[in-house]
């Protein structure tokens, strides 16, 4: 009896780690452990939130009777991970940990709902559940005293906006921070571990991440973006996810998958700038919506033009 329970628990841990790895579109428990370690060395509290969030999402999927294949792939964990981490960072107060874990649970239900709504399209839901849930919960802070938004997320008036293109050029920081910002981090040792986790899952994953990140850096720089944003990785992380989705994970029989992925990565840059501008009066971050929109465009277009 004990051995049966132990095997089941081990299975849950493995699936939980896969849920963490799925944030970067990987189904690999070892990569998930590396990613968790990278988060934890930057912030042990964020590491705990990431693990518990993935565990909560996984358990809700199991208890709810979701498809075993989806659960075992970690597909009920990654949106919970991002929602839990985002809200633990973007809220203040002692109750933010409880709210973050509650959001991780809700993210599992939103994930299931989105899977149902998009089933007929055969287009992956990606991180859309986490984005919508996080935006909605952050906006509730203006109506409830028990929820307090971080002072770093301040609404700004577009009428007073000026573009600041001053700053130091540091391409190395841009490459490192791009992958780190997927998990809201700008800590170089963590970024190195993230790259190792990708290469562990497959050399193409690691190489494509570098190519997508560099493509985004050059695009943002060429368009005259703010240096501080470019080299903080805020134009890179969506590009990395987009090229992984379009060129590697959902490539299908595409002949020009890598080229399409590079274009998708570059497209995330103006989309990021646009969404960031739209959200400035609300004080909300763009999160991974640029990645979702860019990837959806090319994955949907591939239904009509399968070679792209």
Give the CA-trace dihedral at 34, 40, 45, 47, to 10 degrees.
0
Answer whether residue 158 is part of any domain.
Answer: no
Give the structural domain span for 133. 2-144
Task: List pLDDT tens digits, range 85-114.
Answer: 999 999 999 899 999 999 999 999 999 999
CA-wise closest residue to 284 among 164, 178, 150, 165: 150
Which strand (E) or helix (H) includes residue 212?
helix 203-222
Q: How confident is the model at residue 8 (pLDDT cuts 50, 70, 90)?
A: low
Share of the chain above pLDDT 90, in %: 84
Mean pLDDT score of the chain? 93
Residues 140 and 173 in one domain: no
pLDDT at position 3: 47
Answer whether residue 248 is part of any domain.
Answer: yes
Residues 33 and 121 in one domain: yes
Q: How confident is the model at residue 2 (pLDDT cuts 50, 70, 90)?
A: very low
Residues 127 and 194 in one domain: no
Instruction: Check if the beta carbon of residue 234 is closer than 8 Å to that of residue 272.
Output: yes
pLDDT at position 236: 96
Q: What is the CATH number of the domain that holds 129?
A: 1.10.3430.10
pLDDT at position 160: 73
Task: List pLDDT tens digits, range 37-77.
Answer: 999 999 999 999 999 999 999 999 999 999 999 999 999 99
By the 10 Å C-beta count (0-12 exposed, 13-18 middle, 19+ buried), 115 is classed as middle
Residues 138 and 179 in one domain: no
Instruction: Check if the beta carbon of residue 265 is closer than 8 Å to that of residue 215.
Output: yes
Task: List pLDDT tens digits, range 48-59.
Answer: 999 999 999 999
β-bridge mates for residue 91, sequence order: 149
Whether the pLDDT of residue 252 is over 90: the answer is no
Residues 101 and 181 in one domain: no
Whether the pLDDT of residue 5 is over 50: the answer is no
- Average pLDDT (126-139) is 98
- Average pLDDT (192-220) is 97
User: 79-88, 158-167, 242-251: lowest mean pLDDT where?
Assistant: 158-167
pLDDT at position 162: 75
Q: How confident is the model at residue 197 (pLDDT cuts 50, 70, 90)?
A: very high
């Amino acid at each position: 009896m004990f051995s049966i329970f132990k095997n089941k628990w081990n299975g849950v841990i493995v699936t939980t780690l896969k849920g963490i790895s799925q944030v970067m579109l990987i189904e690999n428990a070892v990569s998930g452990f590396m990613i968790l370690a990278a988060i934890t060395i930057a912030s042990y509290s964020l590491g705990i939130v990431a693990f518990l969030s993935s565990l909560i999402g996984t358990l809700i999927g199991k208890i709810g009777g979701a498809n075993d294949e989806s659960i075992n792939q970690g597909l009920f964990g990654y949106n919970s991970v991002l929602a839990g981490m985002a809200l633990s960072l973007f809220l203040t107060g002692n109750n933010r940990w409880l709210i973050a874990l509650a959001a991780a649970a809700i993210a599992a239900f939103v994930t299931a709902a989105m899977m149902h709504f998009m089933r007929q399209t055969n287009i992956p839901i990606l991180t859309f559940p986490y984005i919508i849930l996080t935006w909605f919960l952050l906006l509730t802070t203006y109506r409830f005293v028990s929820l307090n938004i971080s002072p770093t997320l301040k609404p700004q008036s577009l009428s007073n906006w000026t573009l600041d293109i001053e700053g130091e050029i540091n391409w190395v920081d841009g490459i490192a921070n791009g992958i780190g910002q997927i998990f809201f981090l700008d800590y170089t040792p963590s970024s190195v571990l993230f790259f190792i986790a990708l290469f562990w899952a497959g050399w193409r994953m690691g190489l494509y991440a570098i190519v997508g990140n560099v493509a985004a850096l050059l695009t943002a720089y060429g368009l005259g973006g703010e240096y501080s944003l470019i080299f903080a990785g805020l134009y890179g992380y969506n590009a990395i996810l987009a090229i992984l989705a379009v060129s590697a994970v959902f490539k299908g029989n595409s002949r020009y998958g890598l080229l399409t992925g590079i274009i998708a990565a570059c497209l995330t840059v103006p989309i990021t700038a646009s969404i960031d501008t739209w959200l400035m009066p609300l004080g909300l971050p763009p999160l991974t919506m640029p990645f979702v929109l860019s990837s959806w465009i090319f994955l949907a277009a591939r239904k009509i033009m399968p070679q792209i």
